[in-house]
A = this chain, B = another copy of it.
Amino acid sequence: MLSQLLVLFAVAIIVYFKDVSPIGSAVGFSAIGYVVVDALIPRVSESFIKIGLFGKDMSKPGRPVIPETIGSISATVYLFIMFFSIPFMFYKYLVVTSGGGFRDVVKQEPAEELLFPHSKLSEFLSALLCLESTILLGAADDLFDLRWRHKFFLPAIAAIPLLVVYYVDFSVTHVLIPNFLQELIGTTKTSVDLGAFYYFYMGSVAIFCPNSINILAGVNGLEVGQSIVLGVIFLINDVLYLTLGVNGHARESHLFSALLIIPFLGVSLALFKWNRWPAKVFVGDTYCYFAGMVFAVVGILGHFSKTTLLFFLPQIFNFVYSAPQLFGLVPCPRHRLPKFNENDWLMYTSRADLKKEKPKRIVVVVLRLLHNLKLIDLEIDPKTNEVLSCSNMTLINLMIVWFGPMREDKLCYSILALQFFIGVSAICLRHLIGSLLFGNDNLWRVV
C-alpha cells in the first residue's frame, strides 16, 4: 500500500517536473527504483540460494545461510530505470524529423537552463554501457569466483566503453598545474597535456573506486552503507555547484553527476533495508563494483576525478592501512573480519598471529610505534616483551581498537558516521584548497 502510494507520488513528480528540470524526474525514478528493488529482493532470494548463490553470516549465532549477490538486483533495476529516464532528461531537446525515412532535423526546441544538452546523449549512453559492463563482469566474478589478480582488473575492462567514447567524443587530456608548481618549475603554462597517460589515469580511477568499496566490507550493511554515504557526499557537492555555482561547464558536469547519483541512492536504500543488521541478504561483488563504478564514471565524465578521490579518503586510508598485510609484510589470515562473540553479541578485533610467522624486526618496530599511536592493537607477552599478535589492519578492526567491542550494527553505523564527517570536511577543504592551489575554484569563478 505504502509502496503503491510512493509509486503514484513518483509518477506525479516525473510528470510535473518534465518541463522544469531533469532533477525532478531523477527523484521520481529514484523512488520507483526503491519500490521495485524492495519488492524484488524477497521474491528472488530463494532462486539465488537454489543455484548456489548463498553465503554464511559468520557474525550470527548458528551462522545462518543467506542469499548472496542480491546487489545485482539493485544494479540491474538501476540500469533499466536509467533507460526509461533518458527521454525525460532530454525532454526539451527531442529532435523532430520530417519523417518518411529522412533523418534531417526540422525543429529543435531551444535550450533552457538546467536542462541537459542533447550533445551529451552519447556521453550518457557510454556511462550506462560502462555500468552495464561492470554488472556483466561482476556477475561473472560472483558466479565463477575469479582469482584475485583477475578480479582486480575487471573494472578497467568494463571502463573501456567509457574511455573509448571519451576519446572519440571529447579527448580532453589536460590537467591544471597548481600555482606553486608553476612557480617551482618556472612555467607560465596553466595546464599540461597528459595525452595517453590521462587514459591510464582514468583507467586507474575506474579500477580503484570499485575495488576500494569491495575491500571495505565484512560487516552487515557496510558495502551499501558506505556507497549511500558516498552518494550523499557527491550529491551535496553537486547541489553546491547547481545552486551557488557560476561556471557553466562545472554546473553541467554536476547536473550529470546528480542525475546519475539520485536514482543510485534509490536502489541502494532498498538494498540497505535488506542488507543492514541483521542482514537478510548479502550484496555480492557485483554491487560493490557497480557502486564504485557509478562514482568513477561521474568523476571521469564530470572532470572532477581528483575530488572523487578526495571523497574516497576513508577507502584510501583502509587500503593503505591494509597494504602491509596485503603485501605480506605482516602475516595475513584468510579472513580479517572482526570476531563475533556469541555470549555478548559484540564484535571483537580479529588478530594476526605474529608468533608462528614472525615479521621482520623493522616491521615489529613500526608496529610498536603504531600501537603507541593507538593505530593498532598489539598483544605483548608481559614477561618476554615479545609481540604475540596484532589486530588485523582494516578500518573495521581499527574502529574496535579505538572505541572498544561493539555490536555489529553499531560498528557499521560508527564507520558510516566517520565517513560522512570526513566527506563533508573534504567538501569544505576542496573548495578552500582548490582556491589556494589553482588561484581560483571552479565553484566561484567562471573559468
Contact = CB atoms under 8 A, between A and B. Distances in A.
Interface stretch (A78-86, A290-298, A314-322): A78-86
A123 to B, nearest CB: 9
Interface string A171-196: 11110100000000000001101000
Contact of A165 (B80, B121, B132): B121
A445 B9 CA distance: 53
Interface in A121-163: 121-122, 125-126, 128-129, 132-133, 135-136, 139, 143-144, 157, 160-161
A168 interface: yes
A170 interface: yes
Question: How extensive is the interface on chain A, given as a class?
Answer: 35 or more
A441 to B, nearest CB: 13
A95 interface: yes
Contacts of A172: 97, 99-103
Interface string A45-62: 001000110000000000
A167 B87 contact: yes
Contact of A101 (B51, B94, B171, B303): B303
B160 A84 contact: yes
Given A165-B86, A171-B97, A160 B80 contact: yes
A126 B90 CA distance: 15
Contacts of A101: 172, 174, 176, 249, 303
Contact of A136 (B95, B136, B170, B303): B136
A143 B103 contact: no
A168 B86 contact: yes
Nearest to A137: B76
B125 A168 contact: no
A169 interface: yes
Nearest to A53: B143
A77 to B, nearest CB: 12
Contacts of A90: 168
B164 A84 contact: yes
A95 B166 CA distance: 10
A213 to B, nearest CB: 21
A191 B100 contact: yes
Contacts of A171: 94-97
A103 B167 CA distance: 12
A86 B47 CA distance: 38
A136 B51 contact: no
**Top 7 A-B residue pairs of the complex, sorted by shortest distance between their CB atoms:** A125-B125, A122-B122, A99-B174, A121-B122, A83-B161, A83-B160, A86-B164
Interface of A: 47, 51-52, 76, 79-80, 83-84, 86-87, 90, 93-97, 99-103, 121-122, 125-126, 128-129, 132-133, 135-136, 139, 143-144, 157, 160-161, 164-165, 167-174, 176, 190-191, 193, 249, 303
